[in-house]
Amino acid sequence: MSMTLYDKPECPFCWKIRLLLAELDLNTEIMHYHAVGQEAIWQRLTPNRTVPVLTTPDGAIYESDVIVEYLEELTGRLLPKARSERIKARHLNKYSDTKIGAGLREVIFEKRDKPEAKWDQGRINKGIALFNQALPFLEEQLGDNTFFTHDYSLPETALTARFALGERYGVTIPAEFPRLREWFARMKARPSFGLTKPW
């Protein structure tokens, strides 16, 4: 089956999908959305003008949550089997995009493409504080388990991409969250991380 992912390497939504595709071992062409000759094609595929966009034999999908559901329907291997665990996986995916994303966005948008002398340290500190406030819930949801649900699943892909982008911009998980730190180290050791990281 032929699929193409229109992608921006540092986009957390795209990285989540790249991780899913790598973990599911689905052979997909990865196309930078601004690659020569591709931008107009990508624009025709999405009314939102965002990435990721996945072209599939069933049509183009231009919302990452819809891509996730499609890949689950296709493979049945993406979400946990138990209904309660599926709810947890979906909730954590949303939590990653909203609560974890909110703090990181402040830091990344402030630091990206700006010389350090021009950084607004107040905005950066506010972002880090928001990020840190979102961590106790995740530490509690993880508990002593290897994964957030019984096996590697959607929360792993969503949170790995967010945490790794944060780390790239100097935001790390504080020592008071040891289980989360160990979990993140395990995620970075997986082949899918090396295969999909943008740098």
Kindly determine how many residues on this chain lie close enough to bind ligand GSH according to the rule CB under 6 A.
9
Positions 7 through 36 that interact with ligand GSH (CB under 6 A): 8, 11, 13
- Distance (Å, whole) CA 125 – CA 119: 11
Q: What DSSP designation does 1 have?
A: -
Exactly one of 38, 50, 132, 141 binds ligand GSH (CB under 6 A); which one? 50
Query: Counting contacts by CB under 6 A, is residue 93 touching ligand GSH?
Result: no
Residues 6+ apart with CB under 8 A from 97: 12, 13, 158
Residues 6+ apart with CB under 8 A from 191: 22
Nearest approach, Cβ of 19 to ligand GSH (angstroms)?
14
Nearest approach, Cβ of 129 to ligand GSH (angstroms)?
22
Nearest approach, Cβ of 78 to ligand GSH (angstroms)?
16
Beta-carbon count within 10 A of 184 CB:
19
Nearest approach, Cβ of 10 to ligand GSH (angstroms)?
8
Pairing of strands 59-61, 4-7: unpaired
Which pair of tokens denotes residue 198? 């943008």
Query: Counting contacts by CB under 6 A, is residue 132 touching ligand GSH?
Result: no
Query: Counting contacts by CB under 6 A, is residue 56 touching ligand GSH?
Result: no
Query: Counting contacts by CB under 6 A, is residue 158 touching ligand GSH?
Result: no
Exactly one of 55, 64, 153, 196 binds ligand GSH (CB under 6 A); which one? 64
Query: Counting contacts by CB under 6 A, is residue 95 touching ligand GSH?
Result: no
Q: Which of 92, 76, 88 is nearest to 157 (CA)?
A: 92
| CA 194 to chain CA centroid, nearest Å | 14
Q: Which of 100, 95, 121, 96 is nearest to 110 (CA)?
A: 121
Nearest approach, Cβ of 62 to ligand GSH (angstroms)?
7
Nearest CB to ligand GSH, comparing residues 108 and 142: 108
**Chain positions contacting ligand GSH, by CB under 6 A:** 8, 11, 13, 50-52, 63-65
